[in-house]
Structure 1
Amino acid sequence: MFRISRIALVLAAALATTPAYAGLVPTTVTVTPEGAGFRWTYAVVLPSDMKLQAGDYFGIYNFHGLIDGSGGAPDGWTLSTPAVSPLPPNVNIFDDPTAPNLIWTYNGPTIPTGQIGLGNFWASSQYGSGELSLFVGRNARSGDGTYDTNITEVTVPTGSAPPGVPEPATIALVALGLPLVGLGRWRFGRK
């Protein structure tokens, strides 16, 4: 029993000293009404064991209802909105070709180590309701320069109605049919 306890302590110590790596990470998503649509804002953090250099990027996949020209980011970032995006090596995710992706690429000076907020990144959509999709970030570790790909779930706009909410066309059909039902009940109720 003593030997097993010692082995467990050695393993715990080894795991505690092994650094945990994670690339760029979204910390919050907010949705606010804006004009005829909704602004989706993503706050992104650079973890302490990572660095950021020109060419590093992150993407938010399958962003439904994108309003053209609506995206923005802090200085040093550019936004592209391809329908299908090239993926980092060894990554295989669902990329819906009918919904654009938001790909922000860094082109500023190198940030040698993290644990800093990179700011708010945003785009507007016709839709305010959300569904889960993927955030994929790619940047290098500060210690050894090895590239890391971080894949995290994130909320994106969805073009479908939330469960339990009928489509407008369904409501219109019901509204047109109700008078006929009432007329039928009145007519057969008199006999």
Structure 2
Amino acid sequence: MRKTLISLFLLCLGMAQAAGVYTVKSGDTLSSISKKTNVSIETLVKLNNLSSSTLSIGQKIKLGSASTGSTQSKTQTAQKPAGNSKVKVIAASWRGAPYVYGGVSRRGVDCSGFTMQVMREMGVSLPHSSAGQFRYGTPVAKSSLREGDLVFFNTTGRGISHVGVYLGSGQFIHASTPRTGVIVSNINESYYRNTYVGARRVLGN
């Protein structure tokens, strides 16, 4: 009887996966689910109308039509040029988190801790330092900024001291001050325009 129940459970699990549904387990993130299912984060976001990267245990995630091998590879290749838009969902989920110097969690985070954690979920490892992060990736002209680029500022007069994630249309998200926490600002505001140093692209080419 026990073997029969186990067999039925495994059969149901296989049917669920074949139908293109994944059940969120403890510790799952969009990134880990993407790796387990071979479905891109971009596709997961679109299929499930996600506005945040926060997931709940037991939540059903649509995977779309099951696809493997060359078909999946072609799909991922086709999506790659627009793939950085998923960073907006991940970064936006931090909005409102408190600012804590040296922090690296949603209970409190500083500017480079914030960008480090966002990029970590995107599969990119960065140091916990705005000046250190400026040495990663490739330089990007301000006129060529795109979603997911890191933007850097000299807010102290002593070199790079602040970093955020560019969201597009002149907007960037950053852990600003203890008073504001993680907020969205405009890169063309006089303060940020005057303290802007440059940008680096760490996601793709």
Q: Same fold (TM over 0.5)?
A: no
Larger of the two Rg values belongs to structure: 1
Higher relative contact order (CA 8 A, sep 6+): 1
Which of the pair is proportionally richer in helix?
Answer: 2
Query: How high is the TM-score relative to the length of structure 2?
Result: 0.23
TM-score (norm 1): 0.24
